[in-house]
Structures are given as structure tokens and as C-alpha cells.
Amino acid sequence: MKIALVGSKHFGAEVLTQLLESQAIQISVVVVADPEDRLALLAKEKGLSVVVQASPKAVSGDEISSPVDLVVTAYSHALITPEALAKARLGGIGYHPSLLPRHRGRAAVEWTVKEGDAIAGGTVYQLNEVWDAGGVVAQDWCFVLPGEDSGSLWRRALSPLGIRLLVRAVQEIAAKGAVKVTPQDEAFATKAPALPKA
């Protein structure tokens, strides 16, 4: 299965490392916002095709250089445009650090802490034209420790959980040749917009 991986930082680099271990998965292109990002440098080291986004806010169809089976986002804040998704036979999936539909938005981990949630989690979901609203592919959860802040919650639990969940989802899609989703229940949707910096 041919993958276009869009992402950044440790999360994206670790997802790439684990996907490269699977013989059923081929990384066709790695799309990044920053050519000096950890993911970009690793992809170049592995001899992969790296494309730098023209805009950090969106991935265009031209940036998915050739048809692929699946677009995978691994720590990307860019909109994957309909034109980019159209390049992928099975569309796209991404990881969001909340139990969707709760905490849709850029500051999901911060809102988990702000709202005093005792349980957090992560969701692999289908990318579509509405932020964080596509069907659920896979979910898992974790406890929030008393007094934990968003940074420690991400590092301790939600990042490792997300890497594991996203890689497993890609492997299952490669094995089945299809993306199985469960629609989100809009009755439970909440927003997690960016919070003012302290």
C-alpha cells in the first residue's frame, strides 16, 4: 500500500520509522511544512521523496506528487485539501489527541486539562472537509493524572498512544484494503479552540 505521510516532529518521525518496518507499506512521499523538521531530515536520510508545503496551513493536490492509496497525517496542523485527498484511493486518516467528538480543535489536550477530564484519549479518524469530524477508525483512552498539565499528558500518554494507534490503523487498512469507519455522534461534539498564551 502506497502512503503519503504528512507530519512533523518526533510524532511524525516515529510513525515513519515504524511504518518503514512493514513490508506491506511503501512511503511514496513525505510532506512537511519545515524542511529542517525532524521528520523531513529522517525522510531524507532514508532516501524518501520529501515535499515542502507551499503554505503551512494546507496541503495541495500538487504536493501529493502521484496517486497513492492513503494520506496519513502524523502531527500536522495543515488542512488536507479535497484535491490532495482525491489523489488517494482510500482518502486520508489522521490522529487527534482526544476521544472525538469531544475536544475538536487545535487545543484538544489543553482543553482536556482545562475541563478537568479524568479520562483522555486519542482517535484515528477519516479526514474530510470539516476539522476533526470524519468517521472514527480507531480509539483508545488513558487516565489523566491529578495535577497533570497538557505538556506532560501529551508526552506521557497521548503521543505514545497516538503513534501506536495510528501505525496499527495503517497496518490494518493495508491488510484489508479498506477503511472502516464509525460516524461520530454530533450530540457529544465539543470545540477546543486555541487558548490565549499565558
The answer to whether 70 and 90 have CB atoms below 8 angstroms apart is: yes
Dist. CA 175–CA 82, nearest whole Å? 25
Report the number of distinct structural domains present in the chain. 1
Q: What is the mean pLDDT of the chain?
A: 96
pLDDT number for residue 63: 97
Dist. CA 45–CA 72, nearest whole Å? 20
Q: Is residue 193 part of a domain?
A: no
Q: Is residue 105 part of a domain?
A: no
Segment 179-190 mean pLDDT:
97
Q: Is residue 150 part of a domain?
A: no
pLDDT number for residue 196: 84
Strand partners, 5: 30, 72
Structural domain including 78 reads: 2-95+124-132+158-184
pTM (two decimals): 0.96
pLDDT tens for each residue of 115-153? 999 999 999 999 998 999 999 999 999 999 999 999 999
pLDDT number for residue 155: 98
Q: Is residue 30 part of a domain?
A: yes
Q: Is residue 190 part of a domain?
A: no
Q: Is residue 196 part of a domain?
A: no
pLDDT number for residue 7: 98
CATH number at residue 28: 3.40.50.170
**pLDDT > 70 in the chain, percent:** 99
pLDDT bin (cut points 50, 70, 90) of residue 18 is very high
The alpha helices in the chain, defined as continuous H runs, are: 9-19, 38-45, 82-85, 108-114, 150-153, 159-176
Dist. CA 119–CA 106, nearest whole Å? 19
Q: Is residue 49 part of a domain?
A: yes
Q: Is residue 24 part of a domain?
A: yes
pLDDT tens for each residue of 59-99? 999 999 789 999 999 999 999 999 999 999 999 999 999 99
The answer to whether 75 and 9 have CB atoms below 8 angstroms apart is: yes
Residue 198 has pLDDT above 70, yes or no: no
